[in-house]
Amino acid sequence: MFDLIDGAMQILAQVGGAAADTATTAAPAVSTAAAAVPPSLAQTSAQALAEGGMLHFIGQSDWVGKSLFGILVVMSLASWYLIFAKTFTNWRVRRQSERFLHEFWAASSLEQVENEIKTHGAAEPFAHLASHAIHARNHHVKYGALKLEEKGSTSAFVTRIIRKVIDEETAKLENGLTVLASIGSTAPFVGLFGTVWGVYHALIGIGLADGVTVNKIAGPVGEALIMTGLGLAVAIPAVLAYNAFVRYNRVYLSRLDAFAHDLYTFLSTGQQVVENNGHLRAAIVKKGA
């Protein structure tokens, strides 16, 4: 039994010594092989990595690829301009509307409201609506129906003027939304077309090359995919801004409709709309505006 154990230990010792000799012999060989790698190959790989990217892809593209890139840049500039411009305009109009509603329902008479509008101007939808409605009521009461568009009763004429002003303000609020919707829906496809075009030319170049490797395929194809990413980067902010502006317009126009109803009732009866709790309905519109 002890003889078998001694024999096994001798065999393991011999195997360990042989492995150590092999490792010692292989180390110089590995070093020699590493030294035999030409430095030009490593420099070429690093240069290829440095030259890759979006600018390299645009520089190597033909007029179609550069045109698509220019279209995406123009779309992005237009969408961001509309986003900032409409955001600032909506904020300014909202503040002016709150100020006008407070002054309107705090006025002692319609003459005071008219004087305030003449002094400060009708720079926002609520003042624009009140100015036209008051002028239409006074004109129809004083002169009657002088033209065909003024035919009918005073209430009917005021109603038509209010509807016309609301339509005009709706068109102003929706200005620029068509551009945002168009950019949000077409930019991804423009980028996708640029990717397809870039992959097509990359495959042609690979086919004409002598040797085909993974590096030669992955580089051009990866650069072509940048166009799809650019298309999505242009479309996503436009879509989000479009949805936000549409919701803002819907809420703002609902408040304008409520004010138009209160204004029409006040012009028709000479009294403000009062709810069961005794508070003015216009005061609620003022707080929500």
Could you tell me the end-to-end alpha-carbon distance of the chain, in angstroms, rounded to an integer? 100
d(CA 223, CA 230): 12
Among 161, 167, 170, 139, residue whose Cα is nearest residue 248: 170
> What tens digit of pLDDT does each residue of 112-126 get?
888 888 877 778 899
Alpha-carbon dihedral 81, 84, 89, 92, rounded to 10 degrees:
-160
What whole-number distance in Å separates Cα of residue 219 and Cα of residue 223?
Answer: 6
Torsion of CA 257, 262, 264, 270, to 10 degrees: -170
50-71 mean pLDDT: 68
Q: Which residue has the higher pLDDT, 14 or 275?
A: 14
Instruction: For residues 25-48, give the mean pLDDT.
Output: 43
Average confidence (pLDDT) over 195-224: 71
Confidence (pLDDT) at 113: 82
**Residue 27 confidence class, pLDDT cut points 50, 70, 90:** very low
Tell me which of 153-162, 179-188, 204-213, 219-228 is least confident. Answer: 204-213
Per-residue pLDDT of 106-162, as tens digits, reads: 887 777 888 888 877 778 899 889 888 888 887 666 666 656 555 667 777 888 889
Give tens-digit pLDDT for 74-97: 999 999 999 999 999 999 999 999
